[in-house]
Homo-oligomer: A and B are copies of this chain.
Amino acid sequence: LERITIRDVAKEAGVGIGTVSRALNGGVIKKETREKILKAVKKLGYAPNWYARILAGGKTRRVMLITPEIRTEFHWRVIKSFDEYLDQLDFETVIYPIISENRIAKIRSGSCITEEVDAVVLCTLTLNNVFGSEYEPIKPMVLLETAQENYDSIDLDNTLGGEMAAKILLSHEAKDFFVLHTREKDPFRISQSISARLEGFRSGLKKAGICLSPQNILHSEIFSGPSHDQIVQIFEKYRNPAIFALIDNFALPILDIASSLKKIPGKDFFLVGYDDQTWTEEAGLTTIHQPIEEMGIQAAQLVVQKLQNPGLSAQQIRLAPKPVIRNTA
């Protein structure tokens, strides 16, 4: 099986190889020539050799998305929308999950795929997390779900989201407030966003003169969620508890257990989630909506803009959460 090269395309189209290259990379070219070449490309099924292209100083049309997490619905949807948008513009996205420490080391040593992309987007991660403190970026970089001075970024006002949750929960006759929080060891996997939600919630309560007690913050593993015993205790000890789940997931066991206990949501207890995940509508969960797909798409747009115009000064886009009132509060 012989590899089809730019030379074959040039011959098929009856032009020089430089012209083919220009047609493919958006250089100045007559429209007809361009079409002739594109036809030849299609006919032969030509695909460029990235190594040659890069070695010769060209662009990869690849964007790397570095993320600490790939198991949550949030990340799945962000990544999916990001990828689909860029795909239409004929970019490829290389997903690089930090599943182990060694993957950070690899990035820092510069011996990995990072080197073969035109731009990098950092999702839920700070520059410091990934590159260490002394680092100056050599290629376009966009932050997703975080923000930092002088960098393009797209994120959501999670503090505001936390305040919204507080407001909703305060509108009922609840005296006891609880937060379902994550527990993380890996420093780079601790989410600033989630902390911001908590802070927003805390300050929202404070404005109403309520102080959130540390022991009312229940930590649990992100994928197993709060334990049965913790939840049952809340229902046993407190009348009309008000619970803020920092991620929708954590609300699921609450709903299950409350239901078996014949506790009526929105009456015997109050519950607000965060994210507006797909299953929450059917479950009737009141939650704080994040426009997840929009975040992915806007991040992609920032990347494309930066690639087209590297001199552009940094844009920091901050979206707003929206409360979605359903049955649980």
Residues of A whose CB lies within 8 Å of any CB of B are: 1, 45, 47, 49-52, 54-55, 62, 70-73, 76, 79-80, 83-84, 87, 92, 94-97, 99-100, 102-103, 106, 109-113, 115-116, 138, 221, 223-225, 228, 231-232, 252-253, 255-257, 259-261, 279, 283
Contact = CB atoms under 8 A, between A and B. Distances in A.
A96 B83 CA distance: 12
A279 B224 contact: yes
Contact of A92 (B45, B84, B112, B228): B112
7 contacts: A51-B51, A51-B52, A51-B54, A62-B113, A94-B94, A257-B257, A257-B259
Contact of A76 (B52, B79, B99, B138): B99
A279 B223 contact: yes
A39 B109 CA distance: 16
A95 B95 contact: yes
Contacts of A231: 256
Contacts of A73: 71, 223
A94 B225 CA distance: 30
A223 B51 CA distance: 40
Contacts of A221: 279
Given A51-B54, A55-B55, A252-B253, 12 more contacts: A70-B70, A76-B99, A83-B99, A83-B100, A87-B100, A92-B113, A223-B279, A224-B252, A224-B279, A231-B256, A256-B260, A257-B260
Contacts of A95: 95-97
